Chains A and B, each alone.
Chain A
Amino acid sequence: MIDLDLRAPLDRHPATVLPDWIDWNGHMNVGYYVVAFDKATDTLCQQFGCGWEYTRDKIGMTFVLEAHVTYDREVKEGDGLRITTQILDHDAKRLHFIHMMYHATEGYLAATNELMLMNIDYQTRRSAPWPDFAMERIGKLAAAHATLPRPAQAGRLIGIKKK
């Protein structure tokens, strides 16, 4: 397992907007923001030993239960991105966190993605407690992230404001 990175927020996920991610509006399509965020989720899960090897080796899986995305600003083909991740909460089998996507060179916030992730038993494909090795590391990460302010984009309710 890789060394635990307790810098808060987790800030080790660069990405680049690929040509396939662009739609007829000439910017990254809404679905591909989530593709980019899902790869950052794997970077987070690597921290506690539940990245893709966890599934490859048939130990377990992680499923997303719920997601919330705010699209804050456009990004274009070839743009460099930087995705940071903050753990908000966790329990015996779930993890609640938020990713922030920044334009890597211009620094602006492009989007956020709040997620609820659940550990899954490989055989039954049903929810199960995090393995001990994961729980120990999640606890350390959560403690390190607990010092961060809660982002304004977390816990949002969708709606059109009445004027």
Chain B
Amino acid sequence: MLQSLPYELPELITRAPLDTHRSTVIPEWVDWNGHMNVAFYVAAFDQASGAFMRNMGLGRRYVDGKLGMTFVLETHVTYDREVREGAPLRFTTQLLARDAKKVHLFHEMYHAEQDYLAATNETIVMNIDYETRRSGPWPVPVTERLDAIWETHKLLPKPAKAGRVMGLSRR
């Protein structure tokens, strides 16, 4: 387990949910239906996970410094409303749970101007040892930050769209 990280960490944001990430629907994300393609919602949410990771102290320097990596194990997306090319997006991220090497996150994507919910993404991200490419515990400073983040996030209600199992509901 890494006891420290050899770079300066950004100022910790404990505001819950985390709401710093912004994006825009670029032309490459739009498909033949004239809206953002399903896959690029996942790409956009992955960038929101990246924003959460940076707040934990795990940015690009973590990978480039060959210290470690973070891999997504599983993800669940609800597609709630279409977004078109050029649409500005804002994201919120709630920490639902964490353990020694994983975080369980819940993202919401909103149209930044019209303010409607476009999609949600529930995801599990795991810390990876750079050398073995296998799971390993978070570095110590990351665990300390996660503990501080959890203190505010644990007060949020569980989102209605978290914990979904897919299926056709029979009426």
Contacts and interface: CB of A to CB of B under 8 A. Distances in A.
A30 B47 CA distance: 11
Interface of A is mostly: mixed
B165 A157 contact: yes
A127 to B, nearest CB: 13
Contacts of A29: 43, 46
A112 B40 CA distance: 17
A158 B123 contact: yes
Contacts of B78: 65-66
Given A34-B42, A66-B78, A160 B104 contact: yes
A52 B46 CA distance: 27
A162 to B, nearest CB: 8
A147 interface: no
A65 B73 CA distance: 21
B56 interface: no
A70 B77 CA distance: 12
A65 B161 CA distance: 13
B124 interface: yes
Contact of B74 (A25, A90, A156): A156
A91 B64 CA distance: 48
Interface of B: 32-33, 37-40, 42-44, 46, 60, 63-64, 69, 71-79, 82, 97-99, 102, 104, 122-124, 133, 163-168
26 contacts: A24-B64, A29-B43, A29-B46, A30-B42, A31-B39, A31-B40, A31-B43, A32-B43, A34-B42, A55-B32, A56-B32, A61-B33, A63-B82, A67-B38, A68-B76, A68-B166, A69-B75, A71-B71, A71-B75, A96-B167, A154-B166, A155-B167, A157-B164, A158-B104, A158-B124, A159-B97
Interface of A: 24-25, 29-35, 37-38, 52, 55-56, 61, 63-71, 74, 89-91, 94, 96, 114, 116, 125, 154-160, 163
